[in-house]
Amino acid sequence: MKDDSSYHHGDLRAALIKAATAEIERGGHENLSLRELADSVGVSRGAPYRHFADRRALLAAVAADGFERLTAIYRKAMMGSGKTPQDRLAAAGRGYLRFAAKRPQMFRLMFVSDLLGGGTVPPDAALAKAAGESYFVFERLVAATLDNPDDRTVKAAAIKIMSTGFGFALLRMNNRVKPFMYGPLTQTELVDAVLSIKG
């Protein structure tokens, strides 16, 4: 029988999220097994259920962690050295695309899975809060670039930019953006074009 006593209160939860994140990047969230995860962390197969009701609850915690990381990227851009609001929004957009390229399976879990809607189960509260905060910070970056940032205009602009970035991220991670499509553009120029950034 495995000894779970080496994990103090809270440590096992963090260890499971970390291990699940790594496993998801290797094989996708669809293949994640709580039992196998417990084995990899070195605890009994029942131990994860002390922190997560089921597999979906663990996936929600992993996705929430992903949104918190993305929010940190946005905040860094917001507080960065960009001379203009457009520069700061561009930095946030590049950070978003780097995140998607570096953590493609985490990105899919956050933005493609049904964890935030579309299923019969309501979204996890902590995940909804983390995703909402990420979107709120991104909206503030967008609003700063607009001449008349009323709520309707900000939301429309934010959705337009997010949709373009999301689509490009998926195309790139699925190898649908081939070198011949770049033409005379470099990768940086292509990203700038996607984000509608003017030099």
Of 113 and 2, which is predicted with more confidence? 113
| CB of 37 closer than 8 Å to CB of 22 | no
CA 76 remoteness from chain centre:
15
Report helix, strand and coil shares of the chain as percent, to nearest 5.
70, 0, 30
Q: Measure the CA–CA gap between 73 and 94, rounded to whole angstroms.
A: 10
**CATH code, 56-194:** 1.10.357.10
Average pLDDT for the chain: 87
Cite the residue boundaries of each domain of the chain with CATH code 1.10.10.60: 1-52
Condensed to tens digits (0 to 9), the pLDDT of residues 135-182 reads 999 999 999 999 988 999 999 999 999 999 999 999 888 887 765 565
- Residues of the chain with pLDDT > 90, as a percent, come to 60
Q: Measure the CA–CA gap between 112 and 59, rounded to whole angstroms.
A: 13
Cite the residue boundaries of each domain of the chain with CATH code 1.10.357.10: 56-194
Is the model's pLDDT at 9 over the cut of 90? no
**CATH code, 1-52:** 1.10.10.60
Give the residue-averaged pLDDT of 53-74. 96
Rounded to a whole number of angstroms, the distance between the first and last alpha carbons of the chain is 62
Is the model's pLDDT at 45 over the cut of 70? yes
pTM: 0.87
What single DSSP character describes residue 50?
G
Q: Measure the CA–CA gap between 186 and 179, rounded to whole angstroms.
A: 9
Condensed to tens digits (0 to 9), the pLDDT of residues 84-119 reads 999 899 999 999 999 999 999 999 999 999 999 866
**pLDDT at site 199:** 38
